[in-house]
Amino acid sequence: MRTHHRDILVLGILAFTVVAVALAGCAGRGASSATRIILYDHGQATAVEPRSPRAMPGPASAATLQEETAGRMSTTVRYRSPSLGFAVEYPAGWTAHANDTSLPNPNSPSGPGVTFESPSFEGNPMGAGVYSVRVSVQDATGQTLSGAVESWLSPIVPGTRDTITRRDLAVAGEPAIELTLPMIRWVARSIWVMHEERLYVLYFWPTALSQPAGLAGFDLILRTFTFVPVTGPWPTAALRPTPAPTPTAIPGPVALQDAIAIYAAVIRRLCTRDDSFGGTYQPAVVYLLRRTNDAAGDPTAPRGAPVVLPQAVQEGVAAALADLPARRVWVDSAADVPRDARTGEVAGHGALVTLGNIAPQGDGSVHVAASIYVASLAAAGQTYVLRKEDGVWVLKGNTGVQWMS
């Protein structure tokens, strides 16, 4: 395997650089040498590594991926962002790109930052992209680390939250909290750390697939993560996003009968195809929470205030689902649902359904967050997209965010 040599010396002398490169090319041909590329963003929000000939252009075999990463672990790329306030090293061959905050991570706070990704490999069950570490940054003025973590955990449905494990550790000299999220396929973990009133969340995924190359990349990124002085302007608009319009249980444009039909369609789907058992569970009793919770489908998406569904909606939904064999029971809170003390399983072969507010979209569709909970390791949620066709509200899919335990 040939090794390309490149030395980029910041604030160096051009003549010295030319000589150094020439010497490296003559002395090191055919041998491996560590190359560190230092990227400064000069006050911009992010600095993204340009594509390197070292990067693998297409899928490689799992063995090749491991060989490449193992051989390059001494060859690292350094990312540094004075505006975001952190620096980190990652394996050469991985890519770095700015976070797309328009596509929120369903299991970790969204915000400006950088995502580091390994190459793909043949037979990868996840499709494109193998291992990734997403670093997000948020303004944490007035918050504590524990308070920020608890605020994010609070809307997660009971039972599912019970599966999340927490561990205290230190990152870059600061106290940190690690959450392991088994409800995410192939398991994810997020590490929360606060520095100078900024919250940094490192999201590692997947952690259950045993590719040594990917896990070694995780270790390198976590081990080299450090804080740097902030010298550039913060992307304040991204740190404090403009909140989405607050939806209500029955928004103005949505009539009572439409609200009933929308919620009935969502509940029907959850109790049949999207029950987290491939549609085979068929609950005998369905407990329906009266109070909405927009975090049911995406814990990190903008959410409206929870509201209690009007009695007319509750009665109308129950009537619309009269053909379902499951008994329907409206409850005030999840604590009212009988569950097994050890497994968290809903008693009587039952299920708990949580609904979000109805959020009308500009294209005439509506979004509704929803989740179903059967037991601690049997739950699922997503934000459904519905559209009215020939007078009937039809489920057209989801917003792209879906979780399952």
Q: Which residue has the tokens 């509506």?
A: 366
- How crowded is residue 128: how many other Cβ atoms within 10 Å of its Cβ? 9
Q: Do β-strands 350-360 and 285-289 pair in parallel, antiparallel, or remain unpaired? A: parallel
Q: Which of 71, 12, 56 is nearest to 38 (CA)?
A: 12
Q: What is the dihedral of CA 293, 205, 196, 77, to 10 degrees?
A: -150
pLDDT in tens, the chain (405 residues): 333 433 333 334 333 333 333 333 444 433 333 434 434 333 333 333 333 333 333 333 333 333 333 344 457 888 988 888 999 999 988 888 777 554 444 445 556 788 888 887 555 554 445 788 989 898 888 889 999 998 888 777 677 778 889 999 999 999 999 998 876 666 778 999 999 999 999 998 887 765 777 888 899 999 999 999 988 665 543 333 333 444 444 544 578 899 999 999 999 999 988 888 888 899 999 999 999 988 888 766 666 778 899 999 999 999 999 999 999 999 998 889 998 877 788 999 999 999 999 988 888 899 999 999 988 768 888 899 999 999 999 999 888 777 776
**Domain residue extents for the chain:** 34-239, 256-404
pTM over 0.75: no
Q: Is CATH 1.10.490 what the domain over 34-239 is classified as, yes or no?
A: no
Asked if residue 349 lies in contact with residue 374, where contact means CB atoms within 8 angstroms, the answer is: no
Closest by Cα among 375, 358, 241, 349 to 292: 358
Residue 142 · residue 210 · CB < 8 Å: no
- Of the chain, the end-to-end C-alpha distance in Å amounts to 42
In this structure, the chain runs to a length of 405
Q: How far apart are CA 381 and CA 373, in angstroms?
A: 9
Q: Judging by DSSP bridges, how do beta strands 378-389 and 350-360 pair with one another?
A: unpaired
Tokens for 63, please give them: 């063995």
Which SS3 state, helix, strand or coil, does residue 38 take?
strand
d(CA 139, CA 200): 9
- Cα 163 to chain centroid distance, Å, stands at 17
Contact in structure between 376 and 162 (CB atoms under 8 Å): yes
